[in-house]
Chains A and B, each alone.
Chain A
Amino acid sequence: MKINDVVCPFCGCLCDDLEITVEHNRIVAVDNGCTLANAKFMSKEQLASPIRRTGEGWENISYDEAIQYTVDMLLDADRPLLYGWSGTHGEAQCIGVHVSELVGGIIDSTTSVCHGPSILAIQEVGHPGCTLGRVKNRADVVIYWGCNPLEAHPRHMSRYTTYADGYFLQNAFRERKVIVVDVRETETARVADEFIRIKEGGDYAVLSALRAIVRGKGDVVPESVAGVSRSQLERIVTLCKDAKFGAIFFGLGLTMTRGKYKNVRNAIELVDELSRHTKFTITPMRGHWNVYGSNEVFTWMTGYPYAIDFCRGIAFYNPGETSAIDLLARKECDACLIIGSDPGAHFPRGCVEHLAEIPTVVIDPVPTMTTALADVQIPVAVSGIDADGTAYRMDGVPIRVRKVIEPTLPNDREVLKSIHAKMKEAKGQ
């Protein structure tokens, strides 16, 4: 059986034109997807039952036992952390917020290790953005800054920018200028019309210089800024000002390098400045397929996009203090529930060590690096494959990911619902 227009639960592009072939409740072929999508849909290793660490290995336990363990762990803790959320659907994230609020814990998503700085910047100066179709149909100048879509978002350029024809650009590849800004010549840089190579740590200075030049104050700018000549900067500004519609996309090369959110703020203020001359927009290249969904859900439920501390009843927000990495590095939490993320694979060592020290439960379909740190793992259906639900694309467009095969395991929202119900019971509510 072929299923059309399937949504891919891998990256923030949320491509929704995949064709999946299912035979005997197994996915046997994926068409239209990138290699990352294929790998995700075709992956087979899934835990069959919850497991608990014993002295020397693991034992199978029932869902009831695993859920009870989680409830007890969270209720016993003084400062529990509920982390992850980017790999699950919105309905589960909603229940996650309710659990955090009820137990008085901290809820944070992988945002704090990817585009958290973008959010901090947006909170200072706002965000002139648009949906991706606006770029596809109109943009004649596209800038990729500190990101490498060909590797991280493989279909971004073919669906939305370089190779995507649109209403006002019938031959996008010829009519659209693509500029890449990075500290090294990436694969994406090689297909760009113009490449700006910046010295490491120099993004902020270059952005400031561009703003001054847009304002007509280029005379203050030195001959060379972070490895970029003033003449190249001037050429870029002319290109941008002459654009009918310009779009900047940026990635971790801007958010996670020296200056972090101030880099992003500077980029946004460059777009503000350009907006006085022509149309310009800016969009973060969100990584996980539903990381933006976690921000949306947390925001309407708690008022804040990530790193929300309910320990005092009211919601308190202060990334740098209430964000997962900082909490773990400073050992400021004493239990952890992880869902829809694999911090064991990419958190700094100190954080991972603390995770191993405190009681930790992982809700995840497959064994991951985090499993090695956990006391209990609860396997679940995979959102977008055998569980459906809402996801938010990198530009904020909500799309429902589908269930293409029948699940054999409960899904995230079902497991969280049981945890919530048990917890309410324990609290006498």
Chain B
Amino acid sequence: MTELLIRNACVIDPLNDICGEVMDIAVRDGKIVESVGSGAEVIDAGGSLTMPGGIDSHTHICGTKVNFGRYMSPEDMRAGRTARRGHMHSTSGYSVPTTYGTSYRYSAMGYTTALEGAMAPLEARHTHEEFTHTPLQDMMANTLFDGNWPIMQAIHDGDIRRAAAIVGWTLSAVKGFAIKLTNPGGTEAWGWGKDVASIRDPVPHFEVTPAEIIRAMIEANEMLNLPHSVHLHCNCLGKPGNHQCTLETFDLVPNANNKRQSLYATHVQFHSYGGSSWRDICSRSEEICRAINSKPQIVIDMGQVMFGKTTTMTADGPMEFNLYRLYHNKWSNHDVELETGSGIIPVYYSRKNLVNSIMWSIGLELALLTDNPWQCILSTDNPNGAPFVKYPEIMALLMSKRYRNEIFGTVHPDTEHNVPLAAIDRELTWNDIAIMTRGAPAKALGIEDLGKGHLGEGADADIAIYPININETDPATSAEEVIRAFGQTDYTIKRGRVVCRQGTCMVDGKNTTIWVDPHISENYSMDHDPEFAKNFDRYYTVRMSNYPVQEEYIRRNLCIETEAQL
């Protein structure tokens, strides 16, 4: 039995409605408890801001595509190197750090849980291998279903139950966590070098539309009783005028679940553009937020862009090719048979560039114009909008109008004619930030009942203590303080153990992989479906028996078993 007592913690824990109360937190064997004995190890927080460990509900840090981002970028690798030291392995990389680099930097910022945003089922083993080497965060994997042949065929045949059964079989085979759709239908069209132009544009050969895929997957998701909702990267990412596509997509979404949203729309900044070309692109954040404010069934994350160098990577192959033609920098693409695609290019977001300045502005607007912070999660779609190490700056921008104005003064001068940002006075509170980085992601992912994202009794003792006193610091006037404090915790505690102390990781660490295993009746089991098996062995290049991710890859894990209505 190990016990820990954190004294004088100034706690913000939105899921438990605690906001700035100074209290003690007791921990036994990795869980929050009512009280501990006198022999417990004591940490005196001295009134510092204490929150549940941060949760990134959309980030790209592990797997084939991420690793290719590293592989093709020795120039990015040399931009952030540290030597082996104590329990810390050597690290490399700035925008796409090595797995250890990612894990240590997240940990230093108080993050203890992360969802990898896109895992191709065929390459799932790779993602899980990298999870093993990301020791200080519990990990989950969004699983890609945007161009899945048997699923599109089932949808085309109007058999949503079969589509659900295939999703269920796949998630449990590849140890995935949730349904991810990246440019649904578009990644299949990209198999011929094409894309879909709208949610009503049918996918070549399969004759289903993105709208039908999205609707069917939302329905299937609820049939499977999955903890998270469908996680959607809308069609038409990054195209001027794409706000129409986004709004039409939002209109498809029923209110199908009373515990959480029915659709998680990711990196909405990249989907909120007006105009018809790069010349007249403008922000449509107001319309997007109006829709969100009237639809509690939708939760989004920001996809904030920050200025500087980064690497874009997504399963959205056609979009990356368009970016390549724009920037003419190096371009990688990796299509995955029967399932999905992906693309990677390095980018530099410049404040001198009008389009980049508008993008920067839109992300902030989304967070400021969404009335309910539970509906808008803080993200950069790491590393697409910016590396996650920029989160503290984003927090400061959201909390301080003054700081926002200061940065706004440095961007392209025409930005103000194209965005509403300057007119928005809202300043987010400490509590809002805690919601956007803890409570809301936990709730949206459906993992609050597993003890994530809060500090109630029985919760996992994942705790971040930041070196700042919120009663003495006015975030509206102290942006620098806010950035410094959120940039490095005094203590990051994972499962009751101090894993990072002022930026230095203290343990080798061992994480947990969270995955789902929907229980499906024999009638719908793909293991005994001759049609599924026949097509599998005919069209894949890996045998069906070699496809599932073996137990060896998920050493410590938490399996969420659900009862599917199938």
Contact = CB atoms under 8 A, between A and B. Distances in A.
A305 B538 CA distance: 33
Given A101-B90, A129-B333, A167-B539, A296 B126 contact: yes
B541 A132 contact: yes
B99 interface: yes
Given A299-B67, A398-B129, A317 B334 contact: no
B259 to A, nearest CB: 35
A122 B72 contact: yes
B313 to A, nearest CB: 11
Contact of B335 (A134, A278, A310): A134
Contacts of A281: 333, 335
Contacts of A295: 71
A90 interface: yes
A124 to B, nearest CB: 7
Chain B binding site: helix, strand, loop or mixed by DSSP?
A: mixed
Interface stretch (B38-46, B291-299, B352-360, B543-551): B543-551
Contact of B81 (A279, A315, A392): A315
Given A126-B331, A134-B337, A303-B93, A159 B541 contact: yes
A278 B331 contact: no
A65 to B, nearest CB: 28
Interface in A157-210: 159-160, 166-168
A130 interface: yes
A301 B99 contact: yes
A302 B125 CA distance: 19
B92 A398 contact: no
Given A94-B133, A397-B123, A119 B71 contact: yes
Contacts of A300: 62, 67, 70, 98-99, 129-130, 133
B335 A315 contact: no
Interface in B528-566: 538-543, 545-546, 550, 552
A16 interface: yes
B337 A126 contact: no
Contact of B67 (A166, A272, A296, A400): A296
A403 to B, nearest CB: 11
Interface string A274-311: 01101111000000000000011101111111000010
B83 interface: yes
A344 B406 CA distance: 64
B99 A399 contact: no
Nearest to B75: A123
Contacts of A168: 205
A5 B84 contact: no
29 contacts: A5-B543, A7-B546, A124-B330, A125-B330, A129-B332, A129-B333, A130-B336, A131-B122, A131-B336, A166-B539, A275-B193, A276-B325, A279-B191, A300-B67, A300-B129, A300-B130, A301-B133, A302-B90, A303-B74, A303-B93, A303-B101, A304-B74, A313-B84, A313-B90, A314-B81, A314-B83, A397-B542, A400-B546, A400-B552
A32 to B, nearest CB: 11
Contact of B193 (A127, A159, A279): A279
B118 interface: no
Contacts of B331: 125-126, 128, 272
Interface in A84-107: 90, 94, 98, 101-102
A284 to B, nearest CB: 12
B396 interface: no
Given A102-B84, A122-B72, A275-B321, A398 B123 contact: yes
A387 to B, nearest CB: 12
A301 B129 CA distance: 11
A126 B72 contact: yes
A136 interface: yes
B92 A134 contact: no
A138 B191 contact: yes
Contacts of B92: 302-304, 314-315
Given A126-B332, A300-B130, A397-B541, A137 B337 contact: yes
Contact of B71 (A130, A305, A388): A305
A167 B541 CA distance: 12
Contacts of A132: 337, 541
Contacts of B67: 296, 299-300
Contacts of B126: 296, 392, 396, 398
A390 B553 CA distance: 10
Contacts of B459: none
B344 interface: yes
A123 B72 contact: yes
B83 A313 contact: yes
A125 B130 CA distance: 25
B158 to A, nearest CB: 21
B193 A396 contact: no
A315 B334 contact: no
Interface string A139-173: 00000000000000000000110000011100000
Interface of A: 4-5, 7, 16-17, 90, 94, 98, 101-102, 119, 122-134, 136-138, 159-160, 166-168, 244-245, 272, 275-276, 278-281, 295-297, 299-305, 310, 312-315, 317, 388, 390, 392, 396-400
Contacts of B190: 279
Contacts of A17: 543
Nearest to A159: B541
B151 to A, nearest CB: 15
B8 interface: no
B345 interface: yes
B73 interface: yes
A37 to B, nearest CB: 15
5 nearest A-B residue pairs (beta carbon) = A133-B337, A303-B92, A313-B83, A279-B193, A303-B77
A313 B84 CA distance: 6
B335 A396 contact: no
A98 B89 contact: yes
A242 B126 CA distance: 35
Given A167-B149, A303-B74, 14 more contacts: A101-B90, A122-B71, A126-B331, A131-B336, A134-B191, A160-B541, A245-B191, A275-B321, A279-B191, A296-B126, A299-B98, A302-B98, A303-B91, A304-B77
Nearest to A245: B192
B338 interface: yes
Contacts of A278: 193
A280 to B, nearest CB: 8
A125 B190 CA distance: 20
A278 B191 CA distance: 10
Contacts of A159: 541
A129 B324 CA distance: 15
B82 A314 contact: yes
Contacts of B129: 90, 297, 300, 390, 398
Contacts of B193: 245, 275, 278-280
Nearest to B535: A167
Contact of A126 (B89, B91, B330, B540): B330
A133 B539 CA distance: 7
Contacts of A388: 552
B130 to A, nearest CB: 5
Contacts of B73: 123
B100 interface: yes
B372 interface: no
Contacts of B542: 16, 133, 397, 399
Contact of B77 (A16, A272, A315): A315
A129 B317 CA distance: 11
Contact of A131 (B97, B335, B538, B550): B335
B307 interface: no
A134 B539 CA distance: 9
A368 B122 CA distance: 36
B64 interface: yes
A126 B192 contact: no
A317 B123 CA distance: 27
Of listed B92, B324, B334, B541, residue having the most chain A CB within 10 A: B541
A278 B190 CA distance: 10
